[in-house]
Structure 1
Amino acid sequence: MIKIYTDGSYVSGLIGYGCLIHANGEKKITIGFSKPKTRLENVEAEVRALIFGMETLLKSGITFENEHIVLATDQMNIENLLTRYGKKELLEENKEDNDFEFDEKKPAKKMVKEEFFTESGIKFLQLKSKFEEMGCKVSFEKVISHSHVFHNELDETIKKILKKKAAKKLFNKVIKSKKLKQEKKFTRVVSASMFTECQYNYMRFIIKNLRIAGRPMSMDEIRELTIYAPYTPGKVRFAKEIEGLVNEMVFHRYIKKTKDGKYDYLPVELVYPKSANKEVNLKIFLRSRVFHSELDELIKKILKEKPAEILLNKSQNSKKLQKEEKITYMVSTSMFTEYQYNYMRFIIKNLRMAGKPMSMEEIKALTIEAPYTPGKVYFAKEIEGLIQEMVLRNYIKKTEDDKYAYIPVELVYPKINK
C-alpha cells in the first residue's frame, strides 16, 4: 500500500501545496508554490495539492503497479466535487486529451470557480484512470486536521516555507517601493501639435506599467494592456496604432528599447501643455525654456480673448433664457410643504443655469451647501424621492441616460390661510 498525504495553504497572496508519499517504509515530502488563479484561496490550495500528489507519484520512479494507492486528505468532499465537475465536462465535450495540464499562461484575471473545478476535475479523472490502467486501486482516507503525525509534518513544512516566501515577497516590494520613491525623474514636455491628450495619458499609462513590472516588456505584453484599457486615440496624424505610439515613445526617449527588442522603463515625468483649452501653465513653459517675451505675449493674447469669449457666451445664454415660454404649474399644498416648493424651485434654477442634464450625484452635491431638510412630511422625505415626484409631475424631465434636465416651468404655491 502507498499513501499520499496532501495538504495546501494560503498566505499573503501565495498558495502552497504539497504531498508526503509514504511507500516501502520511507517517506518523501515535495512542495509546490504558485499565485492563486481564483479567489477560493485555501480550497484551491487543497485541490492543487491532491493533483500535485498524484503527479508526483507518477514522476517519482517508485514502483506502484497493482498497488493500493490511498489519498489521505482532510477534505473528504473533494473526491465527489472533482468527479462531478470532471465527468460533466467530459460527457458534454467528449474530451480524451490525456496530456491535459493546468494552463499557467492564462491572463492575470481570476478564473471563475466553475472553470477551475472543471479543469481540476478533468485532470483528476485522467490521473486516476492512469493508475487504474496499471492495476492500482485508488481510494480516499479522511485525516482529521492536526491529528496525524505525517499530515502535521507536511502542514508545518508547507506553512514554514510559504511564510518565508511571503515575507521575501513583501521585503522585495518594500525595497522596490523605496527605490522608486528615491529615483530622480527627468521632465519632458509632450508636443501638443504631435500628440493628443488621450495619447499623452496613454503614454503615461504605458510608463507606469513598465515601472510596476520592474523589467523590460515585449510588444506583445504591451498589446495585452490594451485588452483592459483599449487604445482609442481618435482622429490623429501620428501613432494611430499602439505599435506606432510605442515607437514614438522610444524616439522621444520616454522609454528605451533593449537589444533583444523589448521596451524598458526610463525615469521620466511627462507634462502636457493644454494649449487647446488656452490654459497657460507657467511651470511647464519655464521648464521648456520658452522666452519670457513669447510667454508675455501669449498671456496677453489669452487675457484679451477670454473676457470677450465669456461676455459673448453670457449674452447668448441670457437671450435664450429670456425668449423661452414657461408653463405654469400649481403645486399641491396637500402633497408638498412650502419648504419643498422652494427646494424644487432651487433644483429647477440650478438645472437651468447648468445648461445640461445633471445626474443624481450632481444634484445631491447641491445639498452639501443647501441641505434638504423638509421636516415632518408624508411624501419625498429624501432628495431622491423629491426628484422622482418632480419627474412624475413634469417639473423636470428624465433623459435616456438616467440624468435630469431642465423644463421651462414656473411653479406657484397657493398660500392658504385657514
Structure 2
Amino acid sequence: MKLSANVWKLYIIRFFSSLIPAYVIERLYWEQRGMTIPLVVYTEILYAVTIIVLEVPTGIMADRWGRQRMLVAGALLASLEFALLIPASGFSSFALVVIIAGIGHSARSGSENALLYDTLVRLGRASSFEKHLGRLNACDFVGAVTAALTGSLLAGRYGLSLNYWVSLASTIIALTFTLLLIEPAPGSRDEAADEAEARPPLRSYLTEPLRFFRLHPRVCLVMLSGMVTGASLVYIYEFWQLYADRLHFPVYAFGVLSSAIMLIQLPGSLAASWLKDRYGAGRLIAIILAAGAAGFAAMAVSRSLGGLAAMAAVCFAAGLMEPIAAGYLHHRIPSPMRATIDSFQSLGQNGWSALAGLGFGYLSIRYEIFGGYGFLALLCAIFFIGFVLLYPRTREDKLSNG
C-alpha cells in the first residue's frame, strides 16, 4: 500500500473518532446509571490525572516503538470505552471507563501529528503540514456536528442506549482504518542508519525536550501562545450553555448554537496554511491573541446576543491557531523525538487550562459567568503584549529536515 494513503485514512479516522452521538446525551445517560453531579466531578478529576501522568510516557513510547502502534492502542481503548459504557452502572464502572479514556487519549496525543508529519516528509510535502492539519480539524468538526445534530433525534426516538451502540460502531470503524495506517520508514538504508543513530537513549526523552525549548526561545513563545489560546477555548466548550442562558438565548436552539461553535472554527483551520504563507506565523499569532483578548472582553461586558458574535470571533481565531502553532513546532523538531515533544506541548496546554480554570472559576463565582470570560480576556491580553514585545527579540529557529 502507498504511504500517501496515510493522509486520507487519517481524515476518515478523525471523522469517525468524532462521530460520537453519545456525547449529546452523556450527562442524562450517566444520571440514569446512578452518577450524581459530585460523582461526575470525581471522574473528571480521574480523567485529568490519568492524562497528566501518561501524556509524556506515551509520547516516548510512540517515538521509540512506533506512532501507528500507539494510535492503534488508542483506537482500541476508545472502542473498549464504549463497550464498557453500555452496561455501566455506578461509580466504579464509570471510574474505570474514564481511566481507560484517559489512557487512550494519551496514547493518541502526539502520535497522530508525528505520523502525519513524517508521512509528508517522506512524500516531500512537509510544507503542506498546516494545510492537512487544518483538514483533519475540519473532519473533526464535521463528525462532531453530525453527531450533535443526529444524536438528540436518535435518543428521543429510540432511547439513550442506542447512541452508545452507534458510538461503539463508529469507534470500531476508526480502529479498522487505524490498523491500515503505515508507519513511515526512512527513505534509504543510510537514512535509516542516521535515524537510528540520532535516536537518543531512553533517559534523554525527558531531558532533551526541555533542552530543546530552552535553546529555541521562539518555538517556546509560539507554543505558549498556542497553549493559552487552546486553554481559553476549553471554557467556551464547557460553559457556553450557561453564557447563552444568561443572554436569554432559547434552549430549543442550543443544538444549532453548539454546531455553530464548532463549525465557525472550520474556515480558520482550512485557511491557516494560506494565511501563514501570506502574512507569516508571527504576525498571524499576534492577531489571533489580540482577537482572543478583544472577543473575551466583549463577551464579558455584553448582555445581549452581540456576546455570541464575539464568541464566534474567538472560535474562528482559535481555529487558526492550532495548525499554525503545531506546524511551527513540527517543522523544527527532529523526527526521533517528534511525538514526545508534541506530548510536552499537550501537557503544557492541560496545565494552562487548569491554571486558567482557577481564575475563571473564582471570578465566575463573584461576577457570574461574565467575570470568568473577563479573566480570559486579561490572560490573552497579557500574552498578546508579551508576544509583541518578545517575538522580534528572539532569533528565528532553523527548519528541521524531518
Higher strand share: 1
Shorter chain as normaliser: what TM range? under 0.3
Of structures 1 and 2, the one scoring higher in RCO (CA 8 A, sep 6+) is: 2
Higher helix share: 2
TM-score of the aligned structures, taking structure 2 as reference length: 0.20
Return the index of the structure with the highest Cα Rg: 1
TM-score of the aligned structures, taking structure 1 as reference length: 0.19
